[in-house]
Chain A
């Protein structure tokens, strides 16, 4: 079955450490996205990529970095510069030319800074 896989499901990080969240899709989707969910904040866009080797900052990109070396993969690195990294992170993918279909989301990664 095609889908989008995020790993790990739970992640603990010490303050000052970088950590990378994995996102892989086998849907042959062109675009991939990273969102962050905090209580009462809804979904906020961190980064998105419409094509391999290209990506754009979303609304809250500070303290995060991404890469898109392969169509299937869009890892997110939470750096030590991110001041409040504890959150639920969601990866999504979509066909760029089919806006009415929307995104397919992964099941999320819960990151906790200890």
Chain B
């Protein structure tokens, strides 16, 4: 049972344009959502997060939107740069009791073409 889904395995975008990466979730108990960026043969690095009490969070070129009713979030990168080419993982957590554990999607490979 995949609770966090990234339905697009890959996305290709021209430099300077907008990249939109999508993520859907099924567990309504999730209260934090995060995006990670991963280069080959490296560990993922934290990019941006959003609490379930918000619908938007922005950090420079990166904006995450959360639509709780649709159980959907998206990451917008504007403008896209070749260095943004990486795998992006969506992750979610809920602080059930004293536990805290992230559930990851399978990732989307973003390629930004010069």
Determine the main DSSP class of B at the interface with A.
Answer: loop
Docked CA distance A41–B9 (Å): 10
Docked CA distance A108–B9 (Å): 22
Stretch of A65-73, A75-83, A93-101 at the chain-chain interface: A93-101
Contact: B43 with A90, CB < 8 Å?
yes
How many contacts A-B (CB < 8 Å)? 64
Smallest CB-CB separation from B57: which chain A residue? A100
- Does A107 belong to the interface (CB within 8 Å)? yes
Interface of chain B residues 28 through 87 with chain A (CB within 8 A):
31-32, 34, 36, 41-46, 49, 51
Docked CA distance A94–B49 (Å): 15
Please tell me the number of chain B residues within 8 Å of chain A, measured between CB atoms. Answer: 27
In the assembled complex, the CB of A6 is this many whole angstroms from the nearest CB of chain B, namely 8
Docked CA distance A45–B91 (Å): 12
A-B contact pairs, 11 of them (CB 8 A): A42-B105, A42-B106, A48-B101, A88-B41, A92-B43, A96-B98, A99-B32, A101-B49, A104-B46, A107-B43, A108-B42
- Taking a contact as CB atoms closer than 8 A, the residue among B41, B49, B51, B107 that contacts A42 in the complex is B107
Contact: A105 with B104, CB < 8 Å?
no
- A105 in contact with B101 given A42-B107, A99-B95, A100-B32 (CB within 8 Å): no
Q: Which residues of B contact A88 (CB under 8 A)?
A: 41
